Amino acid sequence: MRLCITISCCFLSITTMAQGKYNYSKSDSLKAKAYFDSSWNYSLGSAKHQLYIDSVLQIIPTHSWYWQQKSMPLYKAYKYELGRPFLDSAVKYDAAKWLDYRGFIKCIYERNYRGAIIDFQNAKIINSEKNVMDHPYDFYIGLCYLQLNQLDSSEYFLNAIIKKTIKQHGEDWVHNNHWFYLGIVYYEKENYNKAIECFDHAIKGYAKFSDAKFYKSVCLSELHKSADALALLEQANADYNEGYTIVEDNIFYEYYPYQIKKYYLTAMLAYLRRGETK
């Protein structure tokens, strides 16, 4: 009963925020737009850009999108604590639009995984099941559980979205990164054969997926298939050097969980090559 009451109260609070639609006079809207357009005369991360957004918000302080625009440059500058109150205001004035986006920001930028799970669970109450930044909510929930080392929960959510996609559209429609992160779950569980199956699916859809090849190579090494592991790792290294890695719009700003770095490849190559010379 206590759980039901908590969820109900949360739902009422969120739906109240989601109803926060506000009307502005044409004059105020045009004045705000003029300030916003002028903000782009200055670089995104500049103080002057932010001052123009402040002027917009003085005119129409309940406009959720402008609050998001106020927060976004700060997140891209790694100033998460400064950006969060502004993003919270965007959610306050239109939760249906921005709650899932805040969950994404918490997951990928802030690495606040428990907070992200709560936001996505609440977003489901408002929006049922939608996508944000190209992925369904359950993808991010699964990713958060992976980062919290709650591997069974992560496996459940990632498997669920893959099975749903296959049922609705067929296997070719499964996102490469969904296979990749399910493979990571099995890799962490030391179920290397199942991990390799998932990485193979990811590589099938993205032939130069250096991250998937790297972790598949590690799995092959754990299965004592050192020659195969080294050959695949050489491919991964070549792909990485050509700039191929996880494909997500926001990798220009943030590393994604388990995204490889050059020193991963260098260290693993040295390890496998030493084994070859023994």
Q: Which residues contact 220 (CB under 8 A, 6 or more apart)?
A: 192, 196, 226, 228, 229, 232
pLDDT of residue 21: 58
Helix (H) or strand (E) holding 131, with range, is strand 131-132
Mean pLDDT value across residues 6-13: 40
Across the chain, what does the average pLDDT equal?
92
pLDDT(1) > 80: no
pLDDT digits (tens, 9 = 90+) for 140-187: 999 999 999 999 999 999 999 999 999 999 999 999 999 999 999 999
> Hey, how many other C-beta atoms are within 10 angstroms of the C-beta on 145?
22
> Hey, how many other C-beta atoms are within 10 angstroms of the C-beta on 115?
16
pLDDT(229) > 60: yes
User: Number of C-alpha atoms within 13 angstroms, CB side, residue 266?
Assistant: 4
DSSP 206: S
Q: What span, in angstroms and rounded, lies between the C-alpha atoms of 137 and 115?
A: 14
pLDDT of residue 129: 83
pLDDT(22) > 80: no
Mean pLDDT value across residues 94-123: 98
pLDDT of residue 278: 57
pLDDT of residue 217: 98
Is the whole model's pTM more than 0.75, yes or no?
yes
- How much of the chain, in percent, has pLDDT values that exceed 70? 91
Q: Which domains does the chain have, with CATH numbers?
A: 13-109 (1.25.40.10)
pLDDT of residue 23: 79
Mean pLDDT value across residues 17-44: 85
Buried b (16+ CB within 10 A) or exposed e, 157-193: bbeebbeebeeeeeeeebbbbbbbbbbbbbbeeebbe
The per-residue DSSP string of 102-130 comes to HHHIIIIII--HHHHHHHHHHHHHHHSS-
pLDDT(2) > 70: no
| Burial tier of 67 (Cβ tally within 10 Å: 0-12, 13-18, 19+) | buried
